[in-house]
Amino acid sequence: MAFDGPKTDASDEESALGDLLCFSIYSAEHAFSQLYRPLLAELGLTYPQYLVLLLLWQRDGRTVGELGRALRLQSNTLTPMLKRLESLGLIGRRRDPADERVVRVDLTEAGRALRARSIDIPECVAAATGLSADELRYATDLVNRLRDHVTAYAVDLDRPEGSR
């Protein structure tokens, strides 16, 4: 196995985990969840709900399919989340008049107003990382590239042996 992290003076078990890139990412995700939880609790949102709203604040009226692709979520995960956001009065869903099969998601006034209450969250999270703006961009790019490569590799593993 290739070395993918620094050795520590911790116990053998911790060192074995610390040498795994996937554990570093997993534990960083856990740390981010702990950071976001109180920030989003004030808004009454979960992290995935917050991501949906971020996309809609950027461009309202997206389709369910667009949201799913951007969030990398299947409709069986996304639909219940959208129903919850709708029950909270933050979004509305409607059939696209041009194609009844397409469902569009629109912010309500309450959903638009929530943006002002969440405006400081990205800055708070960036400060918590202890990284400079350049380091944050580099880390984000590196993790995105890593995700894309691992995703492509996993898709290839799922293909039948003869079609690889």
Average pLDDT across each block of 10 residues of the chain; the chain has 164 residues. List them in order: 51 75 95 97 97 98 97 94 98 95 97 97 97 97 96 84 62
What is the rounded distance in angstroms from the CA atom of residue 78 to the CA atom of residue 67? Answer: 8
What is the rounded distance in angstroms from the CA atom of residue 122 to the CA atom of residue 36? Answer: 10
In-domain check, residue 130: yes
Q: Token match 């990382």: residue?
A: 129
Separation in Å, CA 111 to CA 95, 142, 148: 19, 32, 31
Quick one: pLDDT at residue 17?
Answer: 87
In-domain check, residue 92: yes
The structural domain count of the chain equals: 2
Quick one: pLDDT at residue 73?
Answer: 95
In-domain check, residue 108: yes
In-domain check, residue 161: no
Beta bridge partners of 103: 95
Do 70 and 93 belong together in one domain? yes
Quick one: pLDDT at residue 9?
Answer: 54
pTM of the model: 0.84
Domain span including residue 53? 45-115
